[in-house]
Amino acid sequence: MTIAALMFPALFVFILAGIPIALSLSIVSAVAGYFVFGENIFAQLFGSFYSASTNFILAAIPMFVLMGAILERSGIAERLFKVMQIWLGRLPGGLAVATIAMGAVFAAAAGVVGAVEVMIGMMAIPAMQRFRYSNSLISGTICAGGSLGTMIPPSVIAVMYASLAQMSVGELLAGMMFPGLVMIAFFIGFLIVHGMIWPPEKTEASFEIEQISLKEKLTLTLTSLLPIVCLIFAVLGSLLAGIASPTEAASVGAVGALALCIAYGRFSFSMLRESLKITTRISAMILLIVAAGTMFMGAFAANGGSRLIRSTVETAGFGEVGIIIFFLIIVFLLGFVLDWTANVLICVPLFTPIIKQAGIDPVWFGTMVIIVIQTSYLTPPMASSIFYLKSIAPPDMTYGQMCRGVVPFILLQLLTLAMVAMFPALSTWLPDQIVGF
């Protein structure tokens, strides 16, 4: 078990040295596995790589990514943001509320955190600066809205989590539905109260929105918002009702996004080529980390890692609540240094047997784990969401402003976690009602 105990420190050393996560996982796996398998280590690692590469559920990931890429590259996302801005712009902090709403809709369309955040950030930053919003509020709102790609179904994280935990993808997605809506309600409520206390100053852009007629608003809504909502319902409805598998539902989404692109007259082969390039790059990155993570967990288990975790929990004498808190803290700390894919791949195979043995509801626990992963995205100093935003932010938006901006949203995410922990029915009621309907 000594080798297993040394694997995580070695992994962190490689990652902090700047070596890519997939390569770090592979190197540590090969070295640790050699102590167990000797010269047969590469045959063992190939078996882990092959099992990850042929996982049918994970085939949904490229389709969900392609769906989001087409919607973003074709300009449909920009039309949708304008609709949100028109309807919600008059609320206190209305443009910030529209940004969160946009994040929620595209989280349901794309399911990938970085893609959603960059998408809404490129549109929302210039608009919010024109309306004189503070840089800290802008950055906090965009990071929070982008992070909804974790919680709002269909989430790529949930697909991977369910696959590794050997549970129904539809059940986990249904379990995340209400907590995700609660989180959105908290975000919007905070922004409205903030806008009432510190309203942004009136600008020429404010008056332009107020002058749009009701007919124009309804036309834009029917042509921009309604088709996207129908597409999302088609994907989620077929998945939650058990009509389609995750891969089939994701394919419906990708085909539907392409159909919308053609209907809007935005289709071109260059747009399709760019969407496919983005899909290939993101999917390859995710699936390579999945394969490397599978190798890492195989070597960890072979060196007695599962026994190490189990003995630690038993020695500490944790009850059910203690086990949950202990595991959630580990997930949160790993979120500082690991990509979500590596975090899920490392933690889920370790925790699942103990969670099942303790009789803890897997959907309830899985929902809390995903909320914690989302919170770790926003938490400085190693906040992935802030790094995503920094890559597209103007020079006048500083790292300090971004860190201050995400604090209220981190607290609201922790409040959501507390509500799910105290009221498990938030995540367990809906799966019992609709999955397999």
Which of 122-131, 197-206, 342-351, 367-376 is the least confident region?
197-206
Q: Are 427 and 175 in contact (CB under 8 A)?
A: yes
Task: Give the DSSP H or E segment for 28.
Answer: helix 21-37
The per-residue pLDDT for 206 is 54
Higher pLDDT: 142 or 293? It is 142
Q: Are 74 and 266 in contact (CB under 8 A)?
A: yes
Residue 189 clears pLDDT 70, i.e. is over it: yes
Residue range 249-262, pLDDT digits in tens:
778 888 888 888 88
Give the start-to-end residue ranges of the domains of the chain: 56-434
Sign of the Cα pseudo-torsion (17, 18, 24, 27, in order)? negative
Residues 6+ apart with CB under 8 A from 353: 306, 310
- With tokens 């059910």, the residue in question is 320
Higher pLDDT: 206 or 347? It is 347
User: Taking residues 171-198, what's their average pLDDT?
Assistant: 91
- With tokens 């540590």, the residue in question is 28
Residue 38 clears pLDDT 50, i.e. is over it: yes
Residue 180 clears pLDDT 60, i.e. is over it: yes
Residue range 146-160, pLDDT digits in tens:
888 788 877 778 888
Q: Name the amino acid, one letter, at 337.
A: V
The per-residue pLDDT for 435 is 54
At 337, the pLDDT band (50, 70, 90 cuts) reads: low
User: Taking residues 412-435, what's their average pLDDT?
Assistant: 90
Higher pLDDT: 106 or 277? It is 277
Q: Are 319 and 357 in contact (CB under 8 A)?
A: no
Question: What's the mean pLDDT when you consider all of the chain?
Answer: 80
Q: Name the amino acid, one letter, at 91.
A: L
The per-residue pLDDT for 82 is 76
d(CA 343, CA 366): 13
Q: Name the amino acid, one letter, at 73.
A: R
| 61: Cα separation from own chain's centroid | 12
At 437, the pLDDT band (50, 70, 90 cuts) reads: very low
d(CA 303, CA 2): 8
Q: Are 364 and 427 in contact (CB under 8 A)?
A: yes
Q: What is the pTM of this model?
A: 0.76
At 424, the pLDDT band (50, 70, 90 cuts) reads: very high
Residue 15 clears pLDDT 80, i.e. is over it: no
Provide the CB-side half-sphere exposure for 113 (13 A, CA). 27
User: What is the rounded radius of gyration, in angstroms, for the C-alpha atoms of the chain?
Assistant: 22
Higher pLDDT: 415 or 271? It is 415
Q: What percent of the chain has pLDDT over 70?
A: 87
Q: Which two tokens stand for residue 9?
A: 């420190």
